[in-house]
Amino acid sequence: SNIADFVEYWTSGHLFLAGQSPYSPVQILGLERSLDPAFARPLMMLYPPWILPVFAIFGGMPYNVAHLLWFFLSIALDLLSSIGLWIYFGGSRSKLWIPLLISATFLQMGAAESVGQITPLILACVTAFLLLTKKKRYFLAGLCLFGLGIKPQLLYLVFLAVVVWIVRERRWTTLAGALLSASTLL
């Protein structure tokens, strides 16, 4: 189904805003069936609670509007991330068409966007972190570390590398930014 991942985010955000449990299989299934009666089992959102405020932004909109907005936002984040990574790794600004072309032809990216995955947001956070550390904007870079906490089970090695870097380089302002972003969402 085209809504496989995004429906989880939307229902969780919608329930969160309504003061209900975004982790309740019964409540989730009821809301998902209101979108599509073919749901036999609930598609559960298995993300940590600190991501719920992001999902709530979309959960406050009608489903179709939220899904369309998420889709276009995902495309924009992927394209901006490809440009940002191109620049970070030394690509010429006069040849920005190259990362855009690569992004446009990378089928996995299109598949992630079509089902509404959250990976474009994670990629954008990691890209912003890299660009901001390169510009020595360590506090802002720390704020972007929020993205590592979206799917900690996938990014724990990146998280450990960042912690080692913070300690080794004594980038305490990066740690302060990370703690602020984490505490704001908790």
* b/e sequence 84-110, b meaning 16+ C-beta within 10 Å: bbbbeeeeeeeeeeebeeebeeeeebe
CA distance 43 to 45: 7
Per-residue pLDDT of 10-58, as tens digits, reads: 999 999 999 999 999 999 999 999 888 888 888 888 888 888 888 999 9
DSSP state of 93: G
Per-residue pLDDT of 156-173, as tens digits, reads: 898 899 999 999 999 999
Q: How confident is the model at residue 185 (pLDDT cuts 50, 70, 90)?
A: low
Please report the pLDDT score of residue 85 as a whole number: 96
Please report the pLDDT score of residue 1 as a whole number: 43
Contact 28, 21 (CB under 8 A): no
Please report the pLDDT score of residue 2 as a whole number: 46
Per-residue pLDDT of 128-165, as tens digits, reads: 999 999 999 999 999 998 888 888 888 889 889 999 99
Q: What is the mean pLDDT of the chain?
A: 89
Contact 15, 21 (CB under 8 A): yes
